[in-house]
Structure 1
Amino acid sequence: MILLKNATIIDATSTLNGKKRDVLIKNGKIEKIASSIENSDAKIIQKDNLHLSIGWMDTSVSLGEPGFEERQTLKNGIKAAAAGGFTTIMLNPNNQPNPQDQSGVMYLKNVTANQAVSILPVGSFTLHQDGEHLAELYDMQKAGAVSFYDYKHEVTNANLLKVGLQYTSSFNSVVQSYPQNKDIAGKGIVNEDLVSTNLGLKSMPSLAEELQIARDLRIAAYTKGRLHIPTVSTTEGLKLIKEYKKSSKNVSCSVSIHHLTLSSNELESFDANFKLQPPLRDDKEVKQLQKFLNSDVIDVVTSDHMPLTIEHKDLEFDRATAGTIGMESAFGALNNLIATDKAVELLTNGYTVFNQDRPQIEEGQIANLTIFEPDTSYTFEKSNIVSTSKNSAFLGKTMKGKVIGIINNKKALWNE
């Protein structure tokens, strides 16, 4: 048994939102919620400013296993997710082999079953992610795939995206399309701005993202299929999505926490931890992106977690692999930007976007909870990283709020 004492409940869908309550969890279920509960047999969790919400969900996570276990195993990824407050993560098809049929999805479901963190596989959209032939989408969906995505690969063939959206609409699944026009992006590795010019690095204009989003929105309007645009990094891209949402509800989008908090100014150090895909935008763009956080344009904020070993990062900048880990730092960075209740909303909207049952904070419900303290400020250091790979773009950055632990699937993991 676990007894959470005097916890402020953050759940906009609940009548308990904003209220302080004791919560008793027994055998993985919320047994009682009351102003005061006494139970000498329970493990008591009590803090000066204890908060709880439904378990957070990260919609864009890459792990090493299978294929790249030296980067991060599934077991270690679960620990890192829990440290960041996530009870559910969507696993990108960024492994070897990538799931592209029923057996690939079932393997991931089986090896991660009954863990404190629920792992939801994302299947490849096309075979081998080569953009030529659709993967076995329906079979993967029946096996447990929650979405389809050629991870960080744009769908160049517009007709293939059209057919895929039409097909998946018959079983109400979600297709993700990476927002980048490869012809405009070329061989660019950083944003086209004054910083890239001064550093002499190959750049790509934000136009590469905006063109792709404009095309994909037109295809979504035609097909009426469910389209999710992941890791949008430009304000013009968000403006296009905002305009589309005025008349249609079949499109959603996410923004990564690093694009909301870090700018291309970081590149002046030539630290490869700041080499990301899409690239960090300039300081003005970051401030404009932040203004969308309190609107309904951004559905989800994600860590876009990508573990990479020093063999991929301790190189010349142009040779290094793009990506940063982020699960452990996502909440602390986001909570710095907006009110805690809005941060929680953006970390839990994924349930609705990807057709998952939303947890409930009610007596008799299975406990799927994140327990945290929202006001503690600290500097993010390597000691805060649970992930095997340490390639964090947030090292040395100030965070606000700490995760105390999670409860999910009749299990609990604590950071303290």
Structure 2
Amino acid sequence: MKLLLKAAKIIDKSSPYHLQTKDILIEKGIISKIEDSISEAHSEIIQLEDLHISQGWFDTSVCFGEPGFEERETIDHGLQVAAKSGFTAVAINPNTNPVSDNKAVIELMINKAQYSATNIHPIGAFTNGMKGEDMAELFDMQNSGAIAFGDYNKAISNPNLLKIGLLYTQNFNGLLISFPQENRIAGSGLVNEEVNSTQLGLKGIPALAEEIQIVRDLFLVEYTEGKLHIPTISTKKSVELIKEAKSKCLDITCSVSAHHLTLTDNEIKNFDANNKVLPPLRTQKDCDALIEGVKDGTIDMITSDHNPIDIEHKKMEYNNAKFGSIGLESLFGSLNQVLPLEVLVENLSEKPKKRFNIEVNPIKVGNKAELSLFTPTAEYIFSEEDILSSSKNSIFMNKKMIGKAYGIIANNQVIL
């Protein structure tokens, strides 16, 4: 198959063509020419308005339902959603049924996706059944294709278990993920503990619950000289703590979700359960600090934290609704308003791939064509028509978007 991309602006700091507008010829999944103008017979031409391309985007925190919760999202359909949202790779969290805590489930997920344009990279559970008690079969899961280990949205309450995990995974260069929440402080909280939670009478989760867990985990990393990823941080103090730890050259990274960069706890005033996420939405000062953390490199990557929840568990009283929002479709359009385009693309592509040991393919002649296609100028209001997921629980409903993904070219396939 021959593909010819016409007048594509390249956003890729690792490419010699960064910020240049070029024609790109792709043959059998490989970039064969990058020139000002290319005429090639018998090629499929892709010419889109204000076309920009970058290295393929990788989302480090995505939930699909399968196996066990197919009514929320199947693997096949979820990967179609990811592809049309601009992602050439996604890391799949282990909150399935059965939990992805052994090599059989890991291999099942990989086999389900073997012909997809978007690559799937399972995250294995750190503990059996994500119960936080006994360490799962980490080495076996990594040999079967797991790229990291963590109990999704569940804190590792036992510090000794995390210490042992940080020591053990050094034997095979494994990466642990520790969700930053001290459950005994968070309690049965629903939203950020602040003025809004008090006025609305909703139980709060204080920022301290996140920050004290991060402090503990950083001490354990320093003690063990291990390797840790802290997902979806949400407070100003968390940014400061991680920045200080990085100055000590600890082997740590962290991520932030799109909604924590763009929305505040003012969203909870209408009691819409789509705004119920974990960690909870925080304040404007936290948003500002997180944005600055992305810009200065303290925060290493951005995720959608895509978590489909079926209507039976979401459209109900705020107290009883499950935490979580879908986010693949809205990620680029929401973040393109608050971050410089080059910074945003780098935090969606090369930086997370390097941390999770995923193949990086800069836009160069001879490299594999693994590309995200998008426009940074499209303006629209995000509505149900823009939702591709089976579940419709979007935190960005009726929000203004600037920028939209066209799709991807990957694994010798085009999804637009």
2:63 corresponds in structure 1 to 62
Aligned counterpart, 1:15: 16
- 1:221 is aligned to 222
Residue 180 of structure 2 contacts residue 233 of structure 2 at CA under 8 Å; is this kept in 1?
yes
Q: What amino acid is aligned across from residue 15 of structure 1 in structure 2?
A: P
Structure 2 match to 1:240: 241
Match of 2:142 in 1: 141
The answer for the alignment partner of 1:294 in structure 2 is 295
Correspondence 1:157-306 to 2 at 5 A: 157-306=158-307
Deviations 1:55-83 (A, max 9, x none): 00000000111100001111110111112
Moved more, 361-370 or 52-61: 361-370
The residue type paired with residue 198 of structure 2 is: T
Q: Aligned partner of 2:136: which letter?
A: A
Contact kept? 2:61, 2:91, Cα under 8 Å: yes
Q: Deviations over 1:26-64 (max 9, x none)?
A: 211112111111023212122342111010000000011
Structure-2 residue corresponding to 1:376: 378
Q: CA deviation at 1:324?
A: 0.3
1:386 to 364, 388, 396: 388
Among all aligned residue pairs of Structure 1 and Structure 2, give the percentage whose two residues are the same amino acid. 46
**Distance in structure 2 (CA, Å) of the matches to 1:184 and 1:228:** 22
Residues 299-354 of structure 1, C-alpha deviations (whole Å, 9 max, x = no match): 01100000011101111100111100000000111111111111101111210111
Contact 1:265 1:283 in 2 (8 A): no
Give the distance between the partners of 2:172 and 2:141, measured in 1 at CA. Answer: 12
Structure 2 partner of 1:412: 414
What's 2:354 paired with?
A: 352
State TM-score, norm by structure 2.
Answer: 0.98
**Which residue matches 1:35?**
36
Alignment of 1:323-342 (within 5 A): 323-342=324-343
Cα distance per residue 1:94-119 (max 9 Å; x no partner): 11012212212111111111211100
Compare 59-68 and 165-174 and name the one that shifted more.
165-174
Q: Is the 8 A contact 2:179 2:230 kept in 1?
A: yes
**1:47 partnered with 2:48:** yes
Give distance in 1, aligned partners of 2:49 and 2:184. 54
2:48 & 2:133 partners in 1: Cα distance? 54
Question: Counterpart amino acid of 2:383?
Answer: E
Aligned to 1:96: 97
Counterpart contact for 1:60–1:92, Cα < 8 Å:
yes
Q: CA deviation at 1:289?
A: 2.1
- The two structures, once aligned, show a CA RMSD in angstroms of 1.0
Q: Note if contact 1:61-1:89 (Cα within 8 Å) is conserved in structure 2.
A: yes
Asked whether the 8 Å contact 1:76–1:386 carries over to 2, the reply is: no
SS at match of 1:296: coil
Tell me whether 48-57 or 173-182 shows the greater mean CA deviation.
48-57
How high is the TM-score relative to the length of structure 1?
0.98
Cα drift, residue 249 of structure 1: 4.3
Secondary structure in 1 aligned to 2:406?
strand
Asked if the contact 2:294–2:301 (Cα under 8 Å) also holds between the matched residues in 1, the reply is: no
Aligned residues: 414
**Alpha-carbon shift at residue 285 of structure 1 (Å):** 2.1
Distance 2:40 2:63 in 1: 41
Contact 2:26/2:33 (CA < 8 Å) preserved in 1? yes
Cα deviation per residue 1:165-209 (whole Å; 9 max; x = unaligned)?
Answer: 111111112100000000111111111000000000011110000
Cα displacement string for residues 193-230 of structure 1 (whole angstroms, at most 9, x for unaligned residues):
00000000011110000000000001011111110000
Give the unaligned 5+ runs of structure 1: none
- 8 Å Cα contact 1:190/1:201 also seen in 2: yes
2:364 aligned partner = 362
Give the aligned residue type for 1:92. N
Contact 2:381–2:400 (8 Å) recurs in 1: yes
Alignment CA distance shift 1:164-1:307 (3 Å): same
Whether the aligned pair in 2 keeps the contact of 1:116 and 1:408 (CA below 8 Å) is yes
Aligned residue in 2 for 1:3: 4
What is the letter of the counterpart of residue 157 of structure 2? Answer: T
In structure 1, what is the Cα distance between the partners aligned to 2:235 and 2:248?
21
Aligned mates of 1:103, 1:48 — CA distance in 2: 44
Equivalent residue number for residue 396 of structure 1 = 398
Name the counterpart of 2:131: 130
